[in-house]
Amino acid sequence: MKMNLYDALKKFFGFNQFKGLQEDVVKSILDDQNTFVIMPTGGGKSLCYQLPALMKEGTAIVVSPLIALMKNQVDAIRGISETHGIAHVLNSSLNKSEINQVMSDISSGVTKLLYVAPESLIKEEYVDFLKQQNISFVAIDEAHCISEWGHDFRPEYRNLRNIIKQIDNVPVIGLTATATEKVQEDILKTLGMTDANVFKASFNRPNLFYEVRPKTKEVEKDIIRFIKQREGQSGIIYCLSRKKVEEIAQVLQVNGINALPYHAGFDAKTRAKHQDMFLMEDCDVVVATIAFGMGIDKPDVRYVIHHDIPKSLESYYQETGRAGRDGGEGHCLTFYAYKDIEKLEKFMANKPVAEQEVGHALLQEVVGYAETSMNRRKYILHYFGEEFDEVNGEGADMDDNMRNPKKKHEAKEEVAIILKIVTETNE
């Protein structure tokens, strides 16, 4: 007898309701359709493939770009799967006997979800093995990694279509939080699934509060004050350089804040340890480069601070999006100085001209956002091609500009600058 969708949702996850488009996505996958899911971070993409995987016969393969991310998800699934099926990871960190165990669980049909890194999936021995198994579907998480236009291109992702074909002609599910058209088209084409059912959610995150402050010499004091007002809450601080990460982490520690640094210069063990401590709440604040965060499911991150502004609005959106995934408050505070933009421009100086042009255009959007006095949510959503009703839209008043409109003379100054630009271009 087939289990009712809502019963399964309750049984496996303890939820009574689907979030957003989840129900339609799950139905599409249960129906063996190629499916493409575009939902913002925190939208609940994992459940879209985890629930059908648990309900279907056989093993679902989940391709995911990072070991940390897979571990995170498997731990979460194991929490619910003690009695209902098993999630496994297959990657380079396993030894021979662990690999054999995983394979035997797949063969005996116990494994419902198999998480693999793309570079592992490409291995011939695995492909040969998986060919002979009962595979329910292949889900490709963080599917934007397939596109050079995305913010996190991974060349191994481009081979996935071929591998999937070899394993079996099973449905493919692509999932991403990248909202730009270009990346979406690229994903559908490269995965050979232009026939897919497409589900695109709104990118509005109504529970996030956006704030931009001028970056002064007092920036560290500002950050400390901000954190101390939120004692015991979890937060992430993003910095541009590893050096700055370590500096800020130290300043915070000296000031009695439970902070740890995270960047790609630390060895894997230290990184895993700091990440786990953050997830387990043994540490309140992680100070990090962009190496930290992709897919990390800590639902109650209450604030994301940008000590340095990112190089595109897309990155800004992804990074701030790690706050408030549980739907509770998420404060996104960015410190902005124009000289940081100049610094980012300088980093691009050695790149090919075409790349510099793209980089420059992306940076101009960041400047526009940082300096605007309009509704920040509207600005971000417009960037993603979405209309936002700044009067009645959800979260319409959730930014610094809307809560404390600039004093008249400041606003006037900004108008004056815009007018100047308009006049100049008219000439």
Contacts of 100 (CB under 8 A, 6+ apart): none
178 binds ligand ADP (CB under 6 A): no
> At its nearest, how many Å lie between Mg ion and the CB of residue 239?
24
Which residue has tokens 């129906």? Answer: 31
**43 vs 261, which CB is nearer to Mg ion?**
43
Which residue has tokens 């899911």? Answer: 37
> At its nearest, how many Å lie between ligand ADP and the CB of residue 48?
8
Sign of the four-CA dihedral 46, 47, 51, 54: positive
| 392 interface partner picked from Mg ion, ligand ADP, none, CB below 5 to 8 A per type | none
325 binds Mg ion (CB under 5 A): no
Give the interface segment with ligand ADP, choosing from 14-22, 247-255, 276-284, 331-339 (CB under 6 A). Answer: 14-22
Q: Whole-angstrom Cα distance, residue 144 to residue 110? A: 30
45 binds ligand ADP (CB under 6 A): yes
> At its nearest, how many Å lie between ligand ADP and the CB of residue 66?
13
Burial class of residue 230, CB neighbours in 10 A (0-12, 13-18, 19+): middle
Contact pattern for ligand ADP over residues 310 through 339, marking x by CB under 6 A:
---------------xx-------------
Q: Which of 75, 105, 168, 297 binds ligand ADP (CB under 6 A)?
A: 297
Other CB atoms within 10 A of residue 385 CB: 10
Give the interface segment with ligand ADP, choosing from 10-18, 106-114, 145-153, 350-358 (CB under 6 A). Answer: 10-18
11 binds ligand ADP (CB under 6 A): no
Backbone angles phi, psi at 234, to 5 degrees: -90, 140
Smallest CA-to-CA distance from 283 within 255, 251, 259 is with 259
**12 vs 379, which CB is nearer to ligand ADP?**
12
15 binds ligand ADP (CB under 6 A): yes
43 binds ligand ADP (CB under 6 A): yes
Give the interface segment with Mg ion, choosing from 51-59, 293-301, 374-382, 402-410 (CB under 5 A). Answer: 293-301
Q: Whole-angstrom Cα distance, residue 134 to residue 57? A: 8
Q: Which of 26, 35, 36, 42 binds ligand ADP (CB under 6 A)?
A: 42
Strand order in the sheet with 111-116: 86-90, 111-116, 59-63, 135-140, 172-176, 35-38, 197-200
- As given in the structure block, the two tokens for residue 74 are 């498997």
> At its nearest, how many Å lie between ligand ADP and the CB of residue 325?
5
45 binds Mg ion (CB under 5 A): yes
Which residue has tokens 């592992």? Answer: 120
Smallest CA-to-CA distance from 191 within 169, 155, 156, 159 is with 159
Max CA separation in the chain (angstroms): 74
298 binds Mg ion (CB under 5 A): no
> At its nearest, how many Å lie between Mg ion and the CB of residue 75?
14
> At its nearest, how many Å lie between Mg ion and the CB of residue 98?
25
Evaluate whether 323 touches 332 at the Cβ level (below 8 Å). Answer: yes
Other CB atoms within 10 A of residue 65 CB: 22
| 3-class SS letters over 98-132 | HHHHHHHHHHCCCEEEEEECHHHHCCHHHHHHHHC
Smallest CA-to-CA distance from 94 within 60, 71, 63 is with 71
> At its nearest, how many Å lie between ligand ADP and the CB of residue 326?
6
> At its nearest, how many Å lie between ligand ADP and the CB of residue 311?
22
Q: Which residues, numbered 103-132, are part of the site for Mg ion (CB under 5 A)?
A: none
**298 vs 307, which CB is nearer to Mg ion?**
298
> At its nearest, how many Å lie between ligand ADP and the CB of residue 276?
17
**187 vs 370, which CB is nearer to Mg ion?**
187
| 43 interface partner picked from Mg ion, ligand ADP, none, CB below 5 to 8 A per type | ligand ADP
> At its nearest, how many Å lie between Mg ion and the CB of residue 228?
31
Q: How far is CA 207 from the centre of its chain?
A: 16
244 binds Mg ion (CB under 5 A): no
Q: Whole-angstrom Cα distance, residue 315 to residue 294? A: 11
Task: Give, for 378, the enclosing helix (H) or strand (E).
Answer: helix 376-383
Q: Which of 44, 118, 150, 174 binds ligand ADP (CB under 6 A)?
A: 44
Residues in touch with ligand ADP (CB under 6 A): 15, 17-19, 22, 39, 41-47, 297, 299, 325-326
Residues in touch with Mg ion (CB under 5 A): 45, 295
